[in-house]
Structure 1
Amino acid sequence: MLGRRLKRRGYDVVIAVDGGEGVTKALTEQPDLILMDMSLPVMNGWEATRTLKAGDQTATIPIIALTAHAMVGDREEALAAGCDDYDTKPVDLKRLLQKIETLLQKTQEPSAPSQPLEAVAKATPAPNAVATPDIPRSEQLVTATARTASADQQEVSGATPLVAATPRPSSPPPTSALEPTTPTLLVVDDVEANRDMLSRRLQRKGYEVALADSGEAALELMATTDIALVLLDIMMPGIGGIETLKRIRQIYSQEELPVIMATAKDASENVVEALELGANDYITKPIDLPVALARIQSHLKTREASVAARQQLLESTVTAAPQPSFWDDHFRLVEVISKHAFGQTVIAQDLQEPDTPLRIVHTFRLDTNNSEVLQSVQELFLAEMTTLKQLAPHVQCLPVLSFLQDSEVLYVVHEHVEGALLSKVLASKAPLNPRMTCKFADEVLTIVEILHQADLVHSHPHPDCFLQPNEKGKKLVLIDYGVVPRILSKLSLQYPQYQKLLQDQGDILAPEISYGTFKPETDQYVVGKIFLQALQLSAPGDDPELAELHQATAQIFAQMCHFNIQARYSTMYDANRAVRSHWHKLWKAELSKKL
């Protein structure tokens, strides 16, 4: 991923997969700068750096050390080994580009000797270095990445160990990494005349324009190009506009990538469907350019504001993670209340607040050295936190106080409420009769419906996500917003091996989420599955009315967790109404029998 991002900024990049190969390519390619992952196989980054700095041909190549462990002393150790600078993974690209520029400017001074590189970029492009600049650059960058032994996994076990850049005299001078870039718009239309006409008009207005003649081509282009906004024709052969939109929304939110649908004037049904599926706006054909430009500019401004807010959150929270250790310096563990395959939920004391108040802390760690995966996880996590921070406060949903990163571990911090997890409450009251089952299901469905009203799908509202307060009369509260399964679901679209990790979470997980899809009906599946399993249909004796009501209870939850998503209730409101109405029927029937 880092290699692709550097290429898009105009650098030529050469990649080495271990320290030994990095040293060899530094000798043969003579790059301008090296990004050195310090956790490489065969020969690690420390040894490779010392080898390079000891060689006559490579001693002057600047090396930036990359490490996944932001620990006190790492910088000093890296500089002592011969590195010229130091940075941490996952990579903050803006910060890293500033360091690259600083070192390259030093190497271009007249008195400075020519410079080699370990994982190498050189003055004349290497045979396997490909430059695809969208921002003019005068350097060539090379990255070396460590790959796992399993060829079929295609995982990178380190960040980019090495990067090099070399001046090309014919190129314009370097552009600052902080300088704003022209937004790239993607026009998707199967009619060539339509694409050409619209692209020319948009280019005259100062936009960069990418073109795709089908949904398939659009999705492929989006995987390798930074697209700011998509103009998507609804009616196309192959993957049509609606299906393309669905796939885009499985990866990007409306804030991350605005999509404007282009449709015929009489296609109102298609417009409604597109807006329901996450389109930001629509325009009609033939396209009125002033109207289209106004809508494009409006959505680009909204996207820019969202990106700025997300970056502000990242700089103020994630990059400010306490050192040397989250647990030593910021929180003190009190109790682990639940665990899952990727982390745990704990109660901890906040050591940085007066009176060290208790907090509920969720941890998430994906056990991988793949730098691309780690970068994707960080970006997805940041997007999740931006969304949660914008949720309106509700008494039954604990707000996110902060989110932090300590090395590869991500943390979400909530206020603390005295109580017991719903999973423990259900276990203590088992077996649940139909009326009690409906009561708890009603409370869970009510909370999930609150999220749906805020356009947030939980994705996996299992009992450990809810807490029953000890205070009498208090209703269930949500303490886990489903961040982990949503991240894993989105990650599985790029890295199929994570589908199995999702599927291993048990049969409570909705089947569609392991394939990168989650909708409001996904939450319904989980709730239905939980309470169908908790339900105990006791023998009602000879009372046919109660027998019928008990069977109807099971049928309601069975419909909610139907394998076919179309067979479930159409909305969470409908499911909740069915449960609540049935609870009243059970209550009245039981009361009449007692009287």
Structure 2
Amino acid sequence: MTNTESQPATAPAHFSGRILVVDDNPFNSDILSRLLEHKGYRVSIVSNGHHAVDMVEQGGVDLVLLDVMMPGMNGMEVLQQIRHRPPSIDLPIIMLTAMADTERILAAFAAGADDYITRPIDLSLAMARIEAQLRLREQARSQIGELHKIGGAERVKPRTSPFYCPICISCHATYVAQCATCNATAPQGGWPRIHESAFTHLGQTVGGRYFLEQFIGRGSVGQVYRARDIDLGREFAVKIVAASDKEGLRHQTLLEVSAQVRLENPYVVKIYQVLMLEDDVCALVMDFVRGFSLEQVLDAHGSLPPWLALDVARQVALALHSAHAMGILHRDVKPGNIMLEPMPTRDYFARLLDFGIVQIMGRPVDEQSSICGTPAYISPEQILGEQPLDVRADIYSLGAVLYHTLVGHAPFEDLMQARNEPSSAVMVQLQHQLFSRLPPLRAKLGDQDGEQIAALDALLQRMMAKERDERHQDISEVLQEIMELLDRF
């Protein structure tokens, strides 16, 4: 099959676009094209890399499904040629590859692939991945414009919504009997007033266009709000960052922005704009992810089944792989910094956020003896202040998150309960991170799937080894083990 295109009778309501399938196997490409046409997409099929590059250059392609193994110009070479053409830099490319072909998958991500689908193809999962990439591209193309450099102050409009709901922390312009966000009924004494609360910017409009409608959490260095763009009607997340040290704020904010803008990874929350509100306050305008943090999911459900916990860890590891490849350490991987968007396939699309305390690898930092990170997930070397840190600090924290996701509580929490130690005592948590051996999984999960649990326990024991040299030396090693384990569950 060389170069064919089919047209559906009616374009889908959610998206009207063209998908290019690049595969030298006519049976595989026929199945994919039929599935996509059934969903209402326009499909073009080419059987070799040269035709694929030519078709992308002609324009009009919205997503590419690219087979890794092809005669002549293989999938990796096609990927590299497409990515070196400026008009195609943001074109979503999903690689089609053999099951557990970890080495090629990691190489593809390094070369600019956005995602991958393994053979034999799970059609429902394939559609979920395709639609997720198309949705991400649509969001990126509707972004506000070029990133603003931190500079002159932006206007902050006076608060027009004086009341707020204490249940969901959303604001109200007028006194209403019921909250429009969570349907809570007004308290007997009336809705509280924002100016008497700790939610400093709730109800304000920053940058002349972002109305801060709801407080949704605290990041490592600021408050985060759900905001509505009053010009476009689109929702964003806005993080308000304040510091007494103006230069310190400027430096760390630029690091965070630089990290997230450079990554351009589907598993990392994207920053669109930076606004300087006052000398010591700035706002970061980011993607608003509809879903829940992993922390919220674990609070509600206790734990996740092993296959789902591993899949979330896989996606976070892919985000870290891109960050580490650019010399960026996250330093605060924890459930609260992982957003999960529910997918139709009963799994989650995970995204890593809050690069507020990132560190550039090889550069020591002066933090005046303060410990940067979260005690329940922090690596021993961060506690001890060893410099410079490297990727193994993030590997340790990801291991702690995976452990929590599997057993329903943070590492060492059961030891603290057994010894009647207060779980909120930071020094106790740090001592366990430094000296206590991670309790084995079998004691928590029982004898179900004995061999698989033993392999999973071995992965965690290595990720969370006290000595850095005993851990995985690169996140790609972790990814390979995770993907091999996913095949077994």
Q: TM-score, normalised by structure 2?
A: 0.46
Structure possessing the higher radius of gyration over alpha carbons: 1
Tell me which protein shows more strand as a share of its residues.
2
Tell me which protein shows more helix as a share of its residues.
1
